[in-house]
Amino acid sequence: MNKPTKKAGIPRHVAFIPDGNGRWAEKHGLPRVEGHRAGVRNIRRILEYLGERGVEYATLYAFSTENWNRPDDEVNDLFNLLVEVVGKEARELHKNGVKIRHIGRLEGLPGEVKKSVAEAVKLTENNKRMTLGVALNYGGRAEIRDAMRRIASEKIAPGDIDEELIGRYLYTAGFPDVDLMVRTSGEMRTSNFLIWQSAYCEYYFTPVLWPDFDEKELKKALLAYRQRQRRFGGRQSQVHA
């Protein structure tokens, strides 16, 4: 990555629902796992583009708590692919100063996946150029439920519970709220992803399948973001840049 240049109207935190890998594979007459492989290859160029424009945080929806409902063969292929690429990609991201954070539950994941994720997090923990959240075995409702259970277990007085405190108990503790959420493949729903953190974000839906979502398409998403008025519940006259 080149030295980032922060520009006006650039979101601080961009979240992605990288949908369409399976359909991309079917379109090209390939097994579904090859679509997921193509999707993984796409991540690095997207992060490079974001980093060059000064985006500080990106979060990717890698595997949801609902994805366990997919056929066993596809789930196993996904986990084998994760083990294969996490180490390689982590080393490349480390060279570029990217810090990797796991977002979700490690419990229930195969041992090799947990090991790969833990090693990637450890390798990059001191990097400061950009933070990448990898939402793996993640669900927005499960995240809020886990936060509530932790708060209750620590016997925090109800009067002391506010939004700031809840934020410190979420998987994304330390992340800013999402500014822009991008979903590829034409689906227009958020699928239980960062539902607390995206309360005031801007959404961008595109029919482009994730493996084909390149720098040109990302530029369109960032341009759409710049053209919107973010009001956070107020009137336009009350919003200040």
Q: To which residue do tokens 């090209």 refer?
A: 28
CA distance 212 to 147: 36
Active-site option among 2, 19, 69, 177: 19
Give phi and psi for 77, each to the nearest 5: -60, -40
CA distance 237 to 191: 33
β-strand partners of 60:
16, 134
Active-site option among 67, 80, 96, 192: 67
* Sheet strands side by side (includes 180-183): 98-103, 130-138, 57-64, 13-17, 180-183, 202-205
For this structure, is 77 an active site residue? no
Task: Name the percent of the chain in helix, strand, coil, to the closest 5.
Answer: 45, 15, 40
- Burial (Cβ within 10 Å: 0-12, 13-18, ≥19) of residue 36: buried
Nearest Cα neighbor of 136 from 1, 11, 230, 18 is: 18
Cα dihedral 155, 146, 192, 138 sign: positive
C-beta neighbour count of 112 within 10 angstroms:
14
For this structure, is 179 an active site residue? no
Cα dihedral 93, 208, 26, 14 sign: positive
Return the active site residues: 19, 67
